[in-house]
A and B are shown apart, each in its own frame.
Chain A
Amino acid sequence: MDEILKRYNDRSYLIEAIHDILDKKDEKGLGDEEIKKIAKHFKISVAEVLGVLTFYSMLPVKLKVKHTIRVCVSPACYIKGSRELVEFLKSYLGCDENNVSRDGRFLIEEVECLGLCDVAPAVMIDDRIVVNLDREKLKRVIEEVR
């Protein structure tokens, strides 16, 4: 983390730095100490860092999952059954009320248009794009990732 922060000096790089830190982490999400460190580095308040973290949906706070499954629920995917895919995923992975899987490894997020409308329905599992989905294909991919 120190290595990453060293690369960025001015405050405008806050989001870039957080991206880089998250990319390097096994578990997605930042803890209290890390947030304090980032605030100190950029000479801004912890509140300001938290403000940015909570504004952007791709920047999670204190999340201990390994994989994030982002299911697009915007109109193009929606009319091709993405809500049903979300429901299927939740029951298949046994998700709790925070949409974290029973084994604690997956987080399911309903996200807005991923720009994959020509191959809907689509999801992103971490950085990987999976398209033209149905339940069987989704199940297969999740078992590969797991």
Chain B
Amino acid sequence: MKVKVERSLSSPVILTFSKEDTLSAYISNGGFETLERFLKGGKRIEILSEILKSGLRGRGGAAFKTGIKWNAVANAKSDKKFVVCNADEGEPGTFKDRWILENRPFLIIEAMTLCAYATGASKGYIYIRGEYKNAIEVMKNAINQAYNEGFLGQKIMDSDFSFDLEIRRGAGSYVCGEETALLESIEGKRAQPRFKPPFPVEKGLWAYPTVVNNVETFANVISILKNGADWFRQFGTQDSPGTKLFPVSGRVKEPCLIEANLGVTLGRLVEEAGGLDGDFQCALVGGAAGNFIYKDELNYPLSYETLKEKGKVLGSGAILVLNKNDRREEVVKNILEFFINESCGKCTPCREGYPVLLEKFKGYLNGSISKDEVLRLSNLMFKTSLCALGQSSKFLLESYFGVVL
């Protein structure tokens, strides 16, 4: 995979240009220093407050503040707590977590261990999608090395803190990216999302308080604890601090993974990816759960809050560029079929809604149905579906039609 650092970014927070898949390579880059510092006298509260102050938001798509989750679990009274890393990267167009897992596995192990230390958890799971065979292998080796050298398991680095970490493989289900579906899957069940509330921070794995964070979210943690929240806030925007990994694919000359400040423009990312292949039509940002961004928005900053102002979402940050020869309506149909296939079947609006929505969209294309009728249904599904899978077409279709309800 080609990786690039956007040119205005002085140094990357997450990307590295040499592999760190051996423990010795990680340690020689300063790995496990942060864990050691906290295990030998650092305060748990310091970890919690630093992550909160950094304003780090979840990088899986929902952009919830990581510090709030960690504090909620830390404050929960329970004899058991869990830390879960969501590595079920399945959002179409997204391949950022795969890079992190394959290249910096120890960074995730250290971050999860510190999260467990700060929140009082003693067991962690990394849930990796089954298709990512190589990432699973790399992570498995990394966990074994960490156990052998005393960075996982009983009395880590001769402290009183113990933490066990285990990999669970997914088995081909997009909805497992939804945190409560993922928890069901770790429990060995069909991955049907749960009703929220209660949220996983209150009742997660086996109903114990659980932190669930995306891979890229964890990948920011060590840098924040090493350099401080203020350092982290020099990157990105006021409400979306930090950098972001943007997987760029489609009609660009060099599809690649780019690390850039949140708030970077789409135009700049396309430029970094070698420029356009053909004439720009639009980009699908955020995958199937995302939306279209057009030519007049090429210079608009991409951050959680700026897109929200427009009724749009950044989601996973995936960018699929379409040129004028690509048929946008075919991409919409493709995505609606995707949602039909991936709906878990638990709630009616999603299960029954998507097939009808696809028919209505086809009806719109042949002129028999108005766009308002299509939008009305997707809006209804947005309001009534149990999880984000059933809610996602709203952004896609509103951006397709160029309206915000």
Contact = CB atoms under 8 A, between A and B. Distances in A.
Interface of A: 10-16, 18-19, 42, 51-52, 55-59, 70, 73-76, 78-79, 111-120, 124, 127, 129
B234 interface: no
Interface stretch (B7-15, B93-101, B295-303, B355-363): B93-101
A78 B250 CA distance: 10
Contacts of B188: 10-16, 42, 52
A118 B98 contact: no
B196 interface: no
B320 interface: yes
Contacts of B52: none
A77 to B, nearest CB: 9
Given A75-B93, A75-B335, A114 B247 contact: no
B67 to A, nearest CB: 28
B174 interface: yes
A114 B93 contact: no
Contact of B91 (A11, A57, A113): A113
Interface stretch (B43-51, B127-135, B140-148): B127-135
A75 B132 contact: no
Interface centre among A55, A58, A120, A124 (most CB of B within 10 A): A55
B334 A56 contact: no
A57 B172 contact: yes
A91 to B, nearest CB: 22
A13 B344 CA distance: 21
A45 to B, nearest CB: 13
Interface in B235-259: 247-251, 255-257
Given A113-B90, A116-B95, A55 B191 contact: yes
B179 interface: no
Contacts of A55: 173, 190-191, 344
Interface footprint category on B: 35 or more
Interface in B161-193: 168-174, 185-191
B89 interface: yes
Contacts, number: 128
Contacts of A70: 131
B305 interface: no
A100 B232 CA distance: 53
B347 to A, nearest CB: 15
A75 B92 contact: yes
A135 B215 CA distance: 35
Interface in B61-103: 89-95, 97-98
A15 to B, nearest CB: 6
Contact of B132 (A13, A18, A115): A115
Nearest to B273: A118
A54 to B, nearest CB: 9
Given A52-B189, A78-B330, A115-B90, 10 more contacts: A12-B186, A19-B171, A56-B191, A75-B92, A75-B93, A75-B334, A75-B335, A116-B95, A117-B95, A118-B255
A76 B342 contact: no
Nearest to B249: A117
Nearest to B335: A75
